[in-house]
Amino acid sequence: MVQVRLPIHHQPSALRTSAGCLAFLGLAPAVAAGLLVWARSHDPVARLVAPALGVLAMLCFCSWPIMRWYMRRNGSLVTATVGFGPDGFRQPLEDKTTLVLPWEDVRRFDFRGGQPDDRVALAVSLVDEEAIRNLNPDCRHKSEDGFILSSAMAREEAEKASAAIERYRPGLVRWTSKNVRRGGFGVPNPVRRLVKRWSADQARTLVRAEQASAGRLFVLWAAWLAVIADFVAPACYDIPPEIPLPVALAIWVLLYLTRYRGDAGEFVLTADAVTWRPDEGDPVRVRRGDLARLTTAPAGKKSTRHYVSVHAVLRRGEDRPLAAKVSPGAAKNVRRLVVGAPPTPITRGAT
């Protein structure tokens, strides 16, 4: 039997609910701390409890960014070890038992490349509705390819799973890809992605669209430090009780109004291409051999937050849009990396 690490798929609605709960759990102790300092600023107990509540609020507010970072790194918050064996697809359950999906119940396994961070989505389609009883309840999210087993498998794990399925039941595997619009080659075309590993000379650099500039990062850190100090200071200094809560609320409103509202996605830079991969939609890829330079243009302003669009100017003079609305910090970083790493020369006749 071949064992594979499978990041479990999370429904977007469930993730939004979790984010909302964390925001509420952070806001509640923050408001409680502010009211406590406001009403009983000279009480020694209040001076001890208010900073503790402020720290708790800070932990709740930081939990969601940490969870997002963990999901980008590992593909999911929960990773299960599943197996492919002679009897079928083996799935562990919460009660420590194993549920087996027989090969006879499977119509096809679909591996879809082109996901962020070069990950692979995996779905299984079944022969009939009764076969769903042999599928883990956590994997019963329906999609156009079947039931989603994972939306962010590591490519190495996907290749291992594909090889194991072909070994035990040939013909059940299908590899597909998102449509890729290749800069300089006209209209979008469906492209079948080859299963291969990244070699050492194809190292990737990822730049998230919401990446902040150095100046904005300084403002963000200063704002959060000001919120913490706003609740801690009354315990150490003689500050009027009516000051901390309004100051904290003003900072939170400012951070909310100036949050990132551009396109979600990332730039992927390799030795031979620059690719824009949106979280929703098809990637846009431009070969470095066709690229003359990257340019940016203003793409609007919202609540003091500026956005830019990124364009690829090809060597024959054509202008190809990459990303429509990203942060200036991300665009600046991508341009710096492209200028600092010239394209790899192409050898005629090489394969």
- Give the pLDDT score at 230: 63
Domains of the chain in sequence order: 2-76+213-257 (no CATH), 79-177 (2.30.29), 201-211+261-340 (2.30.29.30)
More confident residue, 7 or 73: 7
Per-chain mean pLDDT for the chain? 77
Q: What is the mean pLDDT of residues 147-173?
A: 90
pLDDT band at 26 (very low <50, low <70, confident <90, very high): confident
- Give the pLDDT score at 262: 83
Q: Are 79 and 5 in contact (CB under 8 A)?
A: yes
Highest mean pLDDT among 3-12, 160-169, 224-233, 252-261: 160-169
- Give the pLDDT score at 350: 39
Q: Give the span between the Cα atoms of 84 and 32, in whole angstroms.
A: 52
Does the pLDDT at position 299 exceed 70? yes
Q: What is the DSSP string of 311-329?
A: EEEETTS-EEEEEEEE-HH
- Give the pLDDT score at 90: 92
- Give the pLDDT score at 197: 35
Least confident among 28-42, 119-133, 218-232, 263-277:
218-232
Q: What is the CA radius of gyration of the chain?
A: 25
More confident residue, 255 or 100: 100
Least confident among 146-160, 216-230, 237-251, 279-293:
237-251
The residues near 17 (Cβ < 8 Å, ≥ 6 apart) are none
Q: Give the span between the Cα atoms of 147 and 122, in whole angstroms.
A: 9
Does the pLDDT at position 329 exceed 50? yes
Tens digits of residue pLDDT in 271-289: 888 989 887 777 888 988 8
More confident residue, 177 or 5: 5
Q: What is the DSSP string of 259-283?
A: S--S--EEEEE-SSEEEEEESSS--
Give the pTM.
0.49
Per DSSP (E only), the strands in the chain are: 2-7, 79-85, 88-92, 98-101, 106-113, 120-126, 141-143, 146-153, 173-177, 181-182, 205-208, 265-269, 273-278, 284-287, 291-302, 305-314, 319-326
Does the pLDDT at position 91 exceed 70? yes
pLDDT band at 162 (very low <50, low <70, confident <90, very high): very high
Tens digits of residue pLDDT in 77-89: 888 889 999 999 9
Does the pLDDT at position 51 exceed 60? yes
Q: Give the span between the Cα atoms of 33 and 52, in whole angstroms.
A: 8
Q: What is the mean pLDDT of residues 234-261?
A: 67
Pick from 52, 57, 64: which is nearest to 30 by CA?
57
Tens digits of residue pLDDT in 109-134: 999 887 777 788 899 999 888 888 88
Which tokens is 3 given? 């064992």
Tens digits of residue pLDDT in 141-151: 887 778 888 88
Least confident among 184-193, 204-213, 289-298:
184-193
- Give the pLDDT score at 345: 41
Does the pLDDT at position 191 exceed 80? no
Residue 211, Cα to own-chain centre: how many angstroms? 13
The proportion of the chain whose per-residue pLDDT surpasses 70, expressed as a percent, equals 78
Q: Which amino acid is at 122?
A: L
- Give the pLDDT score at 144: 74
Highest mean pLDDT among 32-46, 139-153, 201-215, 247-261: 139-153
